[in-house]
Structure 1
Amino acid sequence: MSLRARLTLVAVFVITTVALAISYFALLSAERAEVSRIDAVLNGIYSSVATAADPVSVAMQMAEDSDIGVTVAFVNYASDVTEVIESRINFKPAPSAELLSEALDYPVSVNAAERYRMRTFMLSPDEYLAFASSLKAIDENRADNIQTFTLVVVFGISFGVLLVLVLTRRDIRVITSLIKAADDISQGDTSVAIPKTKGNAEVDQLAAALGRMVQSLQRVVEVEQETQVRMQQFMGDASHELRTPLTVIKGYVSLLNNPAFTEAQRARAFERLEGEINRMEFLIKDLLLLAELGQTREDHETVVNFSGLVHESVDDLRVLGSERVVTSSVVDGAMVVGTEHLLQQLLANIAGNIDRHTPPDAPVFVELVLEGTLVHLVVEDGGPGLSAEMLERGVQAFERFDKSRARESGGSGLGVSIMAAIVARHGGSIELSRGARWGGLRIDVLLPLSFPPAVH
């Protein structure tokens, strides 16, 4: 069933229910008002008769003066009725003894050939003076009112249905267009335009939410496309870097078969072969590590003492460069949830970059502090740093950060990308900038702090 049909049925149900309730209470109130008016006249006659010396004459006089048509009659237990003042009331069958007795206290309704309202006054133990007024007009008015209210209900339902159709026409049209847009999005078309809405708050919210979803999907698609481009470029670079040492190795292997080669030339050839093999080993190892970091996180993570790992890394820097001045300020007890060997690899890459790309006597500053719910690692060196263009570009996944430095140092050029992948794997962030101390490279790493459970 369509939304419009459901709304129409709801409108019909609500209008019918409300109209019937109003009609019922209106009819009931009108009848009660008329009956109360009759009761007031009958009670007035009773009050006058009860204190009169000649109750029959008083009753007859007041009945003639009333404007509701009161009949006065003598009634006894034998169900004999003698009308004193004629009216259109048909007393057959005559009221029972119980009704005659009950009407002594208050007016009662009698269901005879036609309904009437009656009040009685006891003349003797077996005879009553009854004064009554017909309810025929009220019954006839009820039938007329029911017919009138039926017409009103029918008109109200028709008007309500028309109003629902008019009010929902625009919203239904907008919802239909939103459904089409959502269907187009499900088919992969993220360029679909979300129709603008103005009016119904719920429809506007739906359109706004769908628009936000489309924008998010567009951003995801753009990021995915950029990642694919970088991946293709990265794979091309990796293929080239693997092909280059293979070509060199192949060439030197062919030359080694030359009997004219001297021992010095052979030693040089073996040295070059070893260097190219080491380059391939570095590159393959880093490629495998990047592939591992790109996989889904597993549930073998533990709480790692990051402060202890940083202390070990500072010691490594001092051992690697005896001429280097390493200053450190490391807070104790900084715990993070993660994979210990990956965090060790992160710090090893930072130390390795400093060792390969800075002078032996370049100073290094290492700081580890707690900032709210984060662990903040700062590593700053006194080396040449990076160009403004490279710092502005930042760290990109699947990208060799500096190919020239990689060839000069014998590395794969993937160290910074690996660091970024490790940090992202642990829910953190990494930023490269120019250091304020010596103008070299500054690395800022932020990782979520793991608070140990409270001891009770």
Structure 2
Amino acid sequence: MRELGKQFRPPLKWIVFGLVGIHLLIAATWGIAYLLLNHIVDWFDPSVGHPIWKQFLTIEVGLFLVFAFGTFARIFIKPVRRQMDWFFHLISAMKELSKGNFEVTLKTNLRYMGQFGPLISSFNEMASELNQMEKMRQEFISNVSHEFQSPLTSISGFARALQRDDLPTDTRHHYLDIIEMESKRLSRLSDNLLKLTSLESKHHPFEAKPYRLDRQLRHIILSSEPLWQEKNIEMEVELPEVTVVADEDLMSQVWINLLHNSIKFTPEGGTIGVRLTVGHKQVHAVLFNSGPDISDEALPHLFERFFREDKSREREGGGSGLGLSIVKKIIEMHGGEIAASNRLKGGAQFAISLPYDN
């Protein structure tokens, strides 16, 4: 704060002007006191004219006027000084913010902030948002490091085991299969990270055009038939004719991700449903399954990056925890909404709303 005060110290000429002004103020006060006293003496009793007495009274009146002027000046200058203090604190806080200290805040006092009030409130809000973003960035880096470290450790361990000459052939093939599986998982994780980064950069290609949403969903369901038939899953499909304006390739990623997740978590002989309905200026798509419910603790975090309700089960299935984040981002790019919930009959449900021009 002292250094800031030195930076904002007025030039020498302004100090000289200030000193001259103070002396002029004293002279003016003395003159006003002298004239005022002469007027009072002449009005009260012209015969009182002793110079010493008059000088004494002049000094008393002058001191009173100086004290009065000083009091009034202090009343008016005090808020300005308070505001300057806030200004110096703001500059100091901005320097801390530029150094990466996002936990800095400014105390608010509506009595003295004046026109700096909205600025200080906005600064505190900005610092809080930056602090939150920094925590999210650190958490993201930690999650990425963890997700890459796990398969890399497996690959390194099994590659080292393959160097043994006495390793049986079937064991060697088993280790190679694991290395291949972990390599593919690393590749999928890298692709999903690049895809999510591209979507969040707002420079991802986005070509919205009219197409039949019901045909797209029907094609994706049929192309996934080997997966759901292998588990004897029953498909309940209600797809009336609906034409939407959207990016067909991006929306295809949404349906593939949600459908494959439903197949993964639906037990043998279970049910998966896909339904389309058209409302006022919106088209609603619902995908549900008869698998396990989503826990209440997981529901609020389901679309967060790297979040997995059952981490061990997801890792075995090759999941990266990025699929639903990508789904949500694509839906938001289209001006839609997605929500997850549990059905009354049991099982998870994903409801998607997209803009629809009748």
TM-score by length of 1: 0.52
Are residue 275 (structure 1) and residue 181 (structure 2) matched? yes
Following superposition of structure 1 onto structure 2, how do residues 79-98 of structure 1 map, counting pairs within 5 Å? none
SS at match of 1:328: strand
| Structure 1 residues 69-114: Cα deviation after superposition (integer angstroms, max 9, x where no partner) | xxxxxxxxxxxxxxxxxxxxxxxxxxxxxxxxxxxxxxxxxxxxxx
| Preserved CA contact (<8 Å) 2:283 2:356 | no
Are residue 367 (structure 1) and residue 280 (structure 2) matched? no
Give the gaps of 5 or more residues in structure 2. Answer: 1-69
SS at match of 2:269: coil
| Preserved CA contact (<8 Å) 1:318 1:325 | no
| Preserved CA contact (<8 Å) 2:93 2:106 | no
Are residue 193 (structure 1) and residue 106 (structure 2) matched? yes
**In structure 2, distance between residues paired with 1:450 and 1:422:** 16
SS at match of 1:383: coil
| Preserved CA contact (<8 Å) 1:365 1:379 | yes
**In structure 1, distance between residues paired with 2:307 and 2:169:** 41
| Preserved CA contact (<8 Å) 1:433 1:441 | yes
Instruction: State the one-letter code of the partner of 2:94.
Output: S
| Preserved CA contact (<8 Å) 2:285 2:351 | yes
SS at match of 1:286: helix
Q: Flag the 1:398–1:165 CA change in 2: closer, same or farther, 3 A.
A: farther
| Preserved CA contact (<8 Å) 1:397 1:420 | no
| Structure 1 residues 191-240: Cα deviation after superposition (integer angstroms, max 9, x where no partner) | 433543359xxx85x45533542343144124313312321321222222
Q: Of 235, 244, 256, which aligns to 1:326?
A: 235
Following superposition of structure 1 onto structure 2, how do residues 34-433 of structure 1 map, counting pairs within 5 Å? 169=77, 172-173=80-81, 175-187=83-95, 188=97, 191-198=104-111, 206-255=115-164, 258=165, 260-298=166-204, 300-303=206-209, 305=211, 307-308=213-214, 309-316=216-223, 318=225, 320-322=227-229, 323-330=232-239, 332-337=241-246, 339-370=247-278, 372-400=280-308, 402-433=310-341
**In structure 2, distance between residues paired with 1:355 and 1:196:** 58
**In structure 2, distance between residues paired with 1:330 and 1:170:** 72
Q: Flag the 1:369–1:211 CA change in 2: closer, same or farther, 3 A.
A: farther
Q: Flag the 1:430–1:233 CA change in 2: closer, same or farther, 3 A.
A: farther
| Preserved CA contact (<8 Å) 1:328 1:367 | yes
| Preserved CA contact (<8 Å) 2:283 2:353 | yes
SS at match of 1:225: helix
**In structure 2, distance between residues paired with 1:361 and 1:330:** 22
SS at match of 2:110: coil
- Identity of counterpart residues, as a percentage? 20
RMSD: 3.8
* Counterpart in the other structure of 2:42: none
Instruction: State the one-letter code of the partner of 1:445.
Output: I
- Greater RCO, 1 or 2 (C-alpha within 8 Å, sep 6+): 2
Give the gaps of 5 or more residues in structure 1. Answer: 1-161
Post-superposition shift, 1:312?
Answer: 3.1
Q: Flag the 1:270–1:366 CA change in 2: closer, same or farther, 3 A.
A: same
| Preserved CA contact (<8 Å) 2:189 2:320 | yes
Are residue 441 (structure 1) and residue 348 (structure 2) matched? yes
**In structure 1, distance between residues paired with 2:280 and 2:93:** 41
| Structure 1 residues 313-361: Cα deviation after superposition (integer angstroms, max 9, x where no partner) | 3444555323322223445445244x43232112111111112222132
Structure with greater helix share of residues: 2
Post-superposition shift, 1:382?
Answer: 0.4
Q: Flag the 1:319–1:219 CA change in 2: closer, same or farther, 3 A.
A: farther
SS at match of 2:297: helix
**In structure 1, distance between residues paired with 2:151 and 2:271:** 34
**In structure 2, distance between residues paired with 1:395 and 1:217:** 25
| Preserved CA contact (<8 Å) 1:314 1:366 | no
| Preserved CA contact (<8 Å) 2:213 2:244 | yes
**In structure 2, distance between residues paired with 1:424 and 1:196:** 39
SS at match of 1:297: coil
TM-score by length of 2: 0.64
**In structure 1, distance between residues paired with 2:261 and 2:108:** 53
**In structure 2, distance between residues paired with 1:421 and 1:355:** 22
* Counterpart in the other structure of 1:18: none
Alignment length (residue pairs): 283
